[in-house]
């Protein structure tokens, strides 16, 4: 099964070229990211990889880059590849679920080439500045299977809604 996980603001912002990493501090959303990726394969672009603050333990990571790699194994659980098809095929051999974790270039590529079975979408309830946007996606092809709202509190800088969608048969 191929999935995608993203956190975006109300105006579709997922990041900014002026600031590295996430634009919000949402501890409960990080927990959701962990819950929905642990024990699975994750696929990301090289830019997102460079912003990570951990090695994403207990996940097999595929990092996409157009550059040639002399050392394709970056870390014990991390592989570099030039080919999304290879990343997805290898991921699905290892685990039942492969999750596309961004950023924008890799979301766009995956959404244009593949049927994504499951979407995990966090909507941060704020309008934020940023020039990296989540690509348009037609949710009419999906059923909403889970929805949970999280309030703003000491753990979460903004209120947010987590939604899980399943591709219609």
Q: Does 156 bind ligand NAP (CB under 6 A)?
A: no
If you search the block for the tokens 């990296």, which residue do you land on? 132
Q: Which of 97, 91, 22 is nearest to 61 (CA)?
A: 91
In the complex, least distance from residue 7 CB atom to ligand NAP, rounded to whole angstroms: 4
CA 96-98-104 angle, to 5 degrees, is 165
Q: Which is nearer to ligand NAP, 97 or 135 (CB)?
A: 135
Which residue in 35, 66, 93, 115 binds ligand NAP (CB under 6 A)? 66
Which residue in 25, 55, 82, 141 binds ligand NAP (CB under 6 A)? 82
User: For 116, which DSSP code?
Assistant: -
Q: Which is nearer to ligand NAP, 50 or 96 (CB)?
A: 50
Q: Does 109 bind ligand NAP (CB under 6 A)?
A: yes
Binding segment for ligand NAP among 60-68, 69-77, 86-94, 153-161 (CB under 6 A)?
Answer: 60-68
Q: Does 70 bind ligand NAP (CB under 6 A)?
A: no
Q: Which is nearer to ligand NAP, 6 or 61 (CB)?
A: 6
Gap between the Cα atoms of 96 and 145, Å rounded: 19
- Counted residue by residue, the chain has a size of 169
Which residue in 10, 21, 141, 152 binds ligand NAP (CB under 6 A)? 21
Strand partners, 60: 41
Q: What tokens were used for 131?
A: 């020039």
User: For 108, which DSSP code?
Assistant: H
* Residue pair 15/104 in contact by the 8 Å Cβ criterion: yes
Task: Provide the binding-site residues for ligand NAP, judged by CB under 6 A.
Answer: 6-7, 14-15, 21-22, 44-48, 51, 64-67, 82, 101-106, 109, 132
């Amino acid at each position: 099964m191929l999935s995608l996980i993203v956190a975006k603001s109300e105006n579709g912002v997922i990041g900014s070229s002026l600031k590295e990493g996430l634009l919000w501090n949402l501890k409960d959303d990080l927990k959701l990211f962990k819950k929905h990726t642990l024990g699975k394969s994750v696929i990301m672009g090289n830019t997102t990889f460079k912003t990570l603050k951990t090695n994403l333990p207990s996940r097999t990571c595929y990092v996409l880059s157009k550059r040639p790699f002399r050392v394709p194994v970056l870390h014990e659980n991390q592989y570099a590849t030039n080919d999304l098809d290879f990343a997805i095929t290898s991921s699905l051999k290892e685990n039942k679920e492969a999750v596309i974790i961004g950023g924008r270039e890799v979301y766009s590529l995956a959404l244009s080439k593949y049927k994504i079975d499951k979407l995990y979408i966090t909507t941060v309830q704020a309008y934020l500045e940023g020039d990296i946007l989540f690509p348009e996606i037609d949710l009419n092809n999906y059923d909403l299977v889970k929805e949970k709202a999280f309030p703003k509190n000491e753990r979460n800088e903004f209120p947010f809604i987590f939604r899980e969608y399943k591709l219609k048969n």
